[in-house]
């Protein structure tokens, strides 16, 4: 594994200072600096007790106002898993992932507490959905980092929200509970690689926001292509082949097609008000 300094320099291109000696050898942080997504796994199962420990570690993450508006759904019923795999067939790695869990936003418990206590719920607006979503995202991240520190490989799955209604039905989700993301995980069959990120100069702001210039983003495109060029280009039928294809072109092409335009309707039907 690379040192924290080398990994961060490689990832960001502009990390150029020494790492504080108090953390330089810290194994968890070394792993975090070098981490990467994993979509290829060995068949060997992860022990249930390890999965449950990782869930407990993940749920130890911070939660807004200690409200705990997020849950984890372990999907280990083969029939339910099979239905989810079929729904998500557009991503062929998912059925091969030995384990699958779903991170849920859960604003239902909070509302139940109001019902039980007779104390009125005065926050039936966008914040209820937002807080539960953020809490679920925090737990997703904590689970991934804990699992990676345990030697597992993981890949989050937002395409689960392309089928939010069907998945909610399969998992028996009641009102005000919704899927935020799935996660496929298992023992990795190959090492992950460090994905280059936008430079820190563009993403760490100090006191006042500054826009990233086009030059900075294009320079990131070139640096990233020098490390790990895109193997294929999106939507060549619509946009043709670009000789300079990079991250920004890929992201622009990705969002030139509507994705989950009906998600707001689904969230509304789960009982949330979005204004
Ligand atoms: C919320 C979330 C949703 C994601 N959804 C998917 C997905 O549906 N399919 C997939 O293959 N990867 C998915 N990913 C993985 C990202 O593509 C991956 O993290 C990203 O390319 C950066 O790579 P890295 O994690 O190796 O740095 C998702 C990641 C996050 C955080």
Q: Is residue 224 part of a domain?
A: no
Å from CA of 50 to ligand 1 middle = 23
pLDDT at 4: 98
pLDDT at 236: 98
Q: Is residue 199 part of a domain?
A: no
Helices (H), 184-246: 200-203, 214-227, 236-239
pLDDT at 1: 82
The residue whose CA has the least distance to atom 10 of ligand 1 is 157
Q: Is residue 267 part of a domain?
A: no
DSSP, res 243: T
The pairs formed by 66-69 with CB atoms below 8 angstroms and a separation of 24 or more are 67/110, 67/131, 67/135, 68/109, 68/135, 69/105, 69/106, 69/107, 69/109, 69/110, 69/131, 69/132, 69/135, 69/136
Q: Is the CB of 155 under 6 A from ligand 1?
A: yes
Q: Is residue 154 part of a domain?
A: yes
The residue whose CA has the least distance to atom 28 of ligand 1 is 156
Å from CA of 113 to ligand 1 middle = 35
Q: Is residue 18 part of a domain?
A: no
pLDDT at 178: 98
Å from CA of 99 to ligand 1 middle = 16
Residues spanned by the domain of 100: 38-192
Radius of gyration of the CA atoms of the chain, in A? 21
pLDDT at 73: 98
Q: Is the CB of 159 under 6 A from ligand 1?
A: yes
Q: How many domains are there within the chain?
A: 1
Å from CA of 119 to ligand 1 middle = 40
Q: Is residue 240 part of a domain?
A: no
The enclosing domain of 108 has a CATH number of: 3.40.109.10
Low-confidence ranges of the chain (pLDDT < 50): none
Q: Is residue 43 part of a domain?
A: yes
Helices (H), the chain: 4-12, 27-34, 48-58, 78-87, 108-117, 126-149, 164-170, 200-203, 214-227, 236-239, 247-254, 263-269
Q: What is the pTM of this model?
A: 0.98
Instruction: Indicate the top mutation candidate among 147, 156, 167 to test ligand 1's pocket, ranked by most ligand atoms within 8 A of CB.
Output: 156
Q: Is the CB of 134 under 6 A from ligand 1?
A: no
């Amino acid at each position: 594994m690379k040192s924290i300094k080398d990994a961060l320099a490689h990832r960001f291109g502009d990390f150029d200072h020494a790492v504080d000696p108090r953390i330089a050898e810290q194994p968890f942080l070394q792993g975090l600096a070098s981490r990467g997504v994993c979509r290829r796994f060995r068949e060997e199962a992860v022990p249930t007790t390890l999965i449950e420990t990782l869930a407990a570690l993940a749920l130890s993450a911070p939660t807004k106002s200690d409200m705990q508006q997020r849950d984890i759904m372990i999907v280990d019923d083969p029939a339910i898993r099979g239905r989810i795999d079929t729904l998500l067939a557009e991503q062929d790695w998912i059925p091969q992932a030995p384990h699958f869990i779903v991170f849920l936003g859960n604003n239902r418990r909070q509302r139940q507490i109001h019902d039980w206590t007779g104390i009125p719920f005065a926050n039936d607006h966008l914040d209820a959905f937002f807080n539960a979503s953020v809490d679920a995202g925090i737990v997703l991240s904590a689970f991934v980092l804990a699992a990676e520190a345990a030697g597992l490989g993981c890949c989050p799955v937002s395409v689960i929200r392309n089928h939010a209604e069907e998945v909610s039905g399969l998992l028996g989700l009641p009102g005000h509970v919704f899927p935020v993301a799935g996660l496929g995980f298992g023992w990795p069959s190959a090492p992950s690689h460090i994905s280059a990120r936008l430079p820190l100069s563009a993403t760490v702001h100090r006191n006042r926001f500054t826009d990233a210039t086009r030059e900075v983003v294009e320079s990131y495109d070139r640096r990233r292509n020098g490390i790990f060029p895109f193997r294929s280009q999106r939507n060549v039928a619509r946009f043709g082949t670009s000789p300079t294809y990079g991250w920004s072109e890929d992201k622009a092409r990705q969002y030139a097609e509507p994705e989950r335009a009906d998600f707001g309707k689904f969230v509304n039907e789960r009982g949330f008000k979005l204004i």
